[in-house]
């Protein structure tokens, strides 16, 4: 009997969990990092891109010969570019010069067509987010493409339910808190929902840029942490999804990302730096008997030019 041949998409998920050794407080909780950099494009977004496309294929929103459009800060676009390349769908991406050059180049190498919107001095703002969404909506309407629309797409939650199951299995159920930064809110919400299904005592901690702490009730502002902090309360956010919210500045996130590389050998992006800063705060509160899990959202190879100016 004929069986389908495996593709690179079969390598998505089942990433390893690693304990931090050198950046953790002496009497704080154990911090475990899920190495999402092990996914094919080096990002956790491979999970949700595959889930969104496969759900649309299943219910007929995306048919053979169809095309796809999305707005993205980069990682979702790279992941969609991979999935669409393997499955044969033309992809049109709306993005911005606010995001790393490496991500934009990676999308083009994988065959995506890019529309790059100008930013306010390379910073992420609410206006930029909304401009990107509107541009993608227009393209989808004019071309008849399937619009993944990640800010509103609930199909991706299933991908993060699977990630939560991996965490639960890898920790043997010994997890006291989960910490994750908020972009679309899908990764935090989906993972939290499933972890709470396993045990409702697990604390869920959301992370957002302190310069744009809208989830905490603060004003919208500009920041430079790729992939998070849209500048407004995103549709997939639910007020009861997190037990607490930690604000982390761009400078704090960048400094921790560089420290992780030097002290732990983990080369990650600034959203990971923000995750670890928040996890360290939680670790001090919970004490040495607790276990915290957070995500290494992607690889720092996506930010080489960004980090180059920070290295002294």
Cα separation values, 116 from 54, 61, 146, Å: 27, 26, 20
Separation CA 228–CA 209 (nearest Å) = 8
Q: Which CATH class is domain 45-147?
A: alpha beta
Residue that is written with structure tokens 């930010």 in the block? 303
Q: Is it true that 8-38+159-308 and 45-147 share their CATH fold? A: yes
Separation CA 312–CA 13 (nearest Å) = 35
Separation CA 161–CA 189 (nearest Å) = 9
Q: Are 43 and 304 in contact (CB under 8 A)?
A: no
CATH number for the segment(s) 8-38+159-308: 3.40.50.1100
For 38-70, b/e burial (b = at least 16 CB within 10 A) is bbbbbbbbbbbbbbbbbbbbeeeebeeebbbbb
Helix (H, G, I), strand (E, B) or coil at 127: helix
Helix then strand then coil, % of the chain, to nearest 5: 45, 20, 35
For the chain (length 312 residues), average pLDDT per consecutive 10? 78 98 93 98 97 98 97 92 98 93 94 95 90 96 97 97 98 98 97 97 98 96 92 95 98 97 97 98 96 97 77 52
Q: Are 105 and 205 in contact (CB under 8 A)?
A: no
In the chain the first and final C-alpha atoms are separated, in Å, by 60
Chain centroid, CA 207 distance in Å: 12
Hey, where are the domains in the chain?
8-38+159-308, 45-147
pLDDT value of residue 251: 97
Separation CA 96–CA 164 (nearest Å) = 31
pLDDT value of residue 1: 45
Separation CA 32–CA 235 (nearest Å) = 29
Cα separation values, 103 from 49, 110, 175, 303, Å: 15, 11, 33, 8
Separation CA 168–CA 145 (nearest Å) = 37
Pick the closest to residue 78 from 124, 110, 33 (CA basis).
Answer: 110
Joined tokens for residue 65:
């010969």
Joined tokens for residue 185:
């809110």
CB atoms closer than 10 angstroms to residue 279: 30
């Amino acid at each position: 009997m004929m069986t389908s041949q495996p593709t690179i998409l079969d390598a998505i998920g089942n990433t390893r969990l690693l304990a931090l050794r050198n950046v953790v407080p002496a009497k704080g909780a154990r911090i475990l990092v899920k190495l999402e950099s092990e996914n094919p494009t080096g990002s956790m977004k491979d999970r949700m891109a595959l889930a969104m496309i496969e759900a649309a294929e299943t219910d007929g929103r995306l048919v053979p010969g169809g095309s796809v459009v999305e707005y993205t800060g980069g990682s979702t676009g790279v992941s969609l570019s991979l999935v669409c390349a393997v499955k044969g769908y033309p992809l049109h991406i709306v993005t911005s010069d606010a995001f790393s050059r490496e991500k934009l180049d990676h999308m083009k190498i994988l065959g995506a067509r890019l529309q790059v919107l100008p930013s306010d001095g390379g910073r992420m703002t609410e206006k930029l987010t909304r401009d990107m969404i509107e541009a993608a909506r227009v393209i989808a309407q004019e071309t008849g493409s399937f619009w993944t629309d990640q800010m509103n797409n609930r199909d991706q939650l299933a991908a993060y339910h699977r990630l939560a199951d991996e965490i639960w299995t890898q920790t043997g159920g010994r997890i006291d808190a989960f910490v994750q930064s908020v972009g679309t809110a899908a990764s935090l919400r989906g993972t939290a929902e499933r972890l709470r299904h396993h045990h409702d005592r697990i604390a869920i901690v959301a992370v957002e840029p302190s310069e744009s702490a809208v989830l905490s009730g603060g004003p919208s502002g500009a920041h430079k942490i790729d992939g998070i902090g849209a500048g407004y309360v995103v549709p997939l956010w639910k007020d009861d999804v997190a037990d607490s919210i930690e604000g982390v500045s761009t400078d704090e996130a960048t400094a921790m990302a560089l420290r992780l590389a030097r002290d732990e050998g983990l080369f990650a992006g600034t959203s990971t730096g923000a995750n670890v800063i928040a996890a360290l705060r939680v670790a001090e509160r919970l004490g040495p008997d607790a276990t915290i899990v957070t995500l290494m959202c992607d690889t720092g190879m996506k930010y080489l030019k960004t980090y180059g100016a920070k290295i002294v």
